[in-house]
Structure 1
Amino acid sequence: MVCGRISSILCLLFLIFGLFFTDVLLNAQTTDRTNTQSGEILDPLSIPRSVIGSGLVRQVKFSPKGDEIAITTTLGVEILNASDLSLLAFYSLKPGVSNAISYSTDGQKIAVVAGLETFVINRRANQIIQLKKAKQVQGVAFAPDDRLFTLLSDGIVQVWDSQQDLTDFATAEPTKWHQHRYRPRAISFSPSGSYVATGAADRVISIRRLSDGQWMGNLSGAGLVNQIAFSMDESQLVASSLEGVRAWSAKTMQRTKKLHTKRTGSDYHLATDLNSSRFAIVSRTSGNCAIWDLMLEKKETEFQADIGTISATFHPQGKNFVTATPYSIKIWNPENGKVISSRDAYYRINNFGFSADSSQMILSTVSQISGEVFGELMLWDVVDNQLIHRWVAHQSEISTVRFSPDGTRILSRSITELNPENPKRSNQVLRMWSTDSFEQIGADLIANREQVNTSQLKDPTIIAPFDFNVEVEMLTDAYESGKDQTYIVMTDKQKMILWKAPKQFHFIQRSYWPVIYRQQISRAASNNGKHIVVVKNKDIEIDLGPGIPRPRLNEHRGNIKQMQFSFDSRYLASLAWDTGACVLWKFD
């Protein structure tokens, strides 16, 4: 019995010692990982960050005087000089992608929707305020009397009284018009300021008197409305919808004419000058632009604008005309269809990778001019945070980029390269580049035609070009013995080949690099073990250990699709789906 009691006491002591040792170990690991003292909370704002990328264009709008052009992008609002499209100002809006935008009549206030929230920018005071009571906003517009209209996704139209002090907007109580069943998408004011029309996804165009909000009626025969505009004499209202581009009589509320009958109204974009004396209709699919007279009876001018046009705006006096694709902005002469000025400065970052010494990043970008896609590579200095070189690498979107271990070569891979032999089936093309000359090394490797099957070989003597890759190590099937894998290999530094390797040639100790597709990485850990980060939609949570609140890094405007620590653990790079911008965070 004594022996039994002694054994019980010894077991209890061992249990207590084990729990104590485990707690000490966990605390040591947490302290080592977070590098914080007891009670100290990591401030996410203390982590330096920089945004790499231009963002993509969403909407364009002339100022009332015509001297500025406001651009909403996936990163915020740009103000451009209307003469040469040079950048005058930039306003970063983090809640989400910026979309709808409108100037006040004096041009000093700009209302913008970002991430379904509404913000008002005071250009003179360089001040930004948020309308706290405007949620789930689809559109925004200043009226001629400077009242602000916000269109909510539940169909309600909010009307905000004009405010001299922007801070009053934050606490103001709007008037509510129960205008639509859901999702109003378009708004237009008549040239005299007498009427306001709204169009929604409920296929209704509603007209009210602006002075007292009296409902005047609904237009019949409207489809899924995207944009609307009054004619100069206010007798007609033009709308683009799923039924095409059509006109209604504002008096009889009946449809009068069809300008375009194709059932893709979302394909067309409307623009008119301040007095509605001219109408422009641009097709997104074809790039065709037609300038109509004020009575919508005939086309005054017709020319070829850019394929992929998503927004258009007229100068207030009709002097010139601006179109925008996600990648470029152009000012046109509406009389002859000639380009006056252009700004091809926008691109989307699609993928990235760190060099082995963590001093550089390679990023793949996508841009498009006149419907032609360009896949470019950007070599970035991580330490000095500046561009080293940028060059066109593919005539298509680049899906994967990687450094070689010695940092002297870069691999780029496109899965949508044009196939001259069969245009309906794209080629998968891999190219090698020199980091010194930025010239291509060797010939293209066409993955869908040049795979070598090694099933008949016992043990192929191959040299892997890149003997490390973080993403591969994170894939559960990278070395799964039950699956065949395709590997990029090199016989020398000038030639790449592909091996189709059966399962018996899978060796974990060998550093093969499988051909991988784009993937979403929701969790990343630094090599030194100090940092663990987790994706939460568009934010990044820093895991500080069990039971410790996770600080959030919030610089992205859209959901994050990829992130990776540099190999020295000092930097974290993250990339979002919607914005096309990469954020570089400095941890140490």
Structure 2
Amino acid sequence: LNRAKGGKLYFDLINKSSAESLSRLVIHPHQGFIYSACFSHDGTKVASCGASKTLKVFKSTSGEKLAEIQAHEEEVLCCAFTYDDRLIATCSSDRKVKVWNAEQGKLLRAFAEEHEEQVNHCEFTNTARRLLLATCSNDSCMNVKLWNLNKPSSQNTMFGHFEPVNHCCFSPDDSYLSTSCNDGTVKLFQVSSANEWKTIDVRSMFADGEEAIVKCSTWSPDSKRVICAARNAVLVFDVESSDMLLEIRTNRLSMVQYCHACPTSNLLAIAFSNYALELWDLENSKKKADCSGHLSWVQRVQFSNDGSKLLSCSDDQTVRLWETQKVHTSSAIGLKRDSDVLFNNEEIIVSAADNCNRLQVRDGRTASVLFQSEEMSSRIRCTCLSRQPSAVALGQESGSVQVLDVPSGKHLATLQGHTKTVLHCRFSQNGQTLVTSSEDTTIRVWKWQSGECTVLQGHKEQVRCFSLLSDSMNDSSLLSWSFDGTVKVWDIERGERLQDIQAHQGAILSCHVSPDRCLFATTSADKTAKLWSIQSWQCTHTLRGHQECVRSCRFSWDGRRLATGDDNGEIRLWSVEAGSLLKICSRDSKGGMDSLHGGWVSDLHFSPDDSLLISAGGYIKWWSVVTGEALQTFYPTGSALKKIHVSPDFSTFVTIDNIGILYILQRVV
């Protein structure tokens, strides 16, 4: 999904056909957590609500906004369509229940007097037989109510719960209403009489003393089973006997937030607090798919009425739409995020490991595989490409380094020496030298065609990265940084350590050398960035102000600015000469663009004229350097982008998300 300031598109995805993915659409409708989203019964629209106090309606095919309503005075906790999609109900922390015209956004009914505490959930009956609205709340006793929209007060109150009721759900034929409560029970009420029919003691399924708040319940399509979510489990009960038929448990560190049964099949969607969404087949008790992409807790999931689509909403401020059958049957090969890219005129070459632990080299424009290695015995952790000779190197967890020919895939060399995982590798400009760094605290400089090796020793912790101080063939200086807080300068030809700088109190997370090779910058887990003189090796400025680990940094091409990004999603622009703050990008967003970056800011790049800045993290964002405004946001299907590769002319951008999708974006203006 692309969102651009004022509707103007600056960059667009050019490999759309190869980026087919499980998540068909990502929508960013609200500023704040999204607590609820639902399909219209015909599946053409989606409504969402949350902490922004608004209700929004948009097309399920494109994400185009159809309506925006300032719905409540406090957070809106749930929304629901009527069976004919003419009306939408909302309920809120402000204790009110409201009913709106879905097309015009006009308020038709407001029930404000009967619930004494926040109203957690609302739901309409499923059929045209009789239109009723059910609501449940944190009230002490009269916490479940049925409403006839033609009456000014509730038609019935369902008694039985004495603690907050989190959720209510009509059976498919509207005969029963299930309620899910903090007291660890699910109650089934007859809708016609409002009397309690039976209680299912979910609490008894957990060890004595364990709190068992029931988050929600959902019905199987035949109304014979009721499925509920509590703690880290989903439990399936027979409605007639109240016997438990099936239990799905996740690890204790992840709580089930919500579940919903598909109206047309045996599929069950489960949302978790660990950002995951899973599909299970209740017939054979097997997980069918992991749906990755959200950056925070998934609050709600729902199938469309025909079962063809699935939506999820999250605290990450997004609603994601999925094609059920595509998720259900997908077996796509995904790429790992540790990648390298060569830009050669119009050609884009991408190297990355796949989820079968094979190295792939692809044509970036067509996504066609130029070659694919055999499955490796040890996990591939890094890769790099050489222009001349045309080769690709890969580093493995075993410590081994392999060099292969491009495009034939012929094995050229195996380099043994590292005793632990190889974390980073890079060819020299002439391709004759390969430099690798490792968890074993060493850097190795290989004349890879002969196997000759120079070992650089001195770091006390793993060496995650390094940088050649110059692209010149005559300059053999290398800069390395480590979790031990030090920066070291090496002469890689002689294997000598030239400088040893205790740069930070915490781990060094990134380092960048200025274009004129006079300065370098470091960023750290100690929440600071520093500027250093290469001539004196002294710190010229300490840049303070970030509230989290400073994850990334980049000099502008004219060397006058430094951009830094942190784990809070904040980007700061600094004056290199004065060491002073110029701009905080994430606080200066205007014109409806979201200000949150979405996850750690893992990579930064300036355009050649220094007018634009691109950042990667949970999303990809383009910024105006002058104003600090976000010009455009690109939402990948997945998240947690480690790196973005940028062509020298700032026209093409390549990245891979955490579910293995390759994205190639092109500048369009």
More helix per residue: 1 or 2? Answer: 1
Instruction: State TM-score, norm by structure 1.
Output: 0.48
Instruction: State TM-score, norm by structure 2.
Output: 0.43
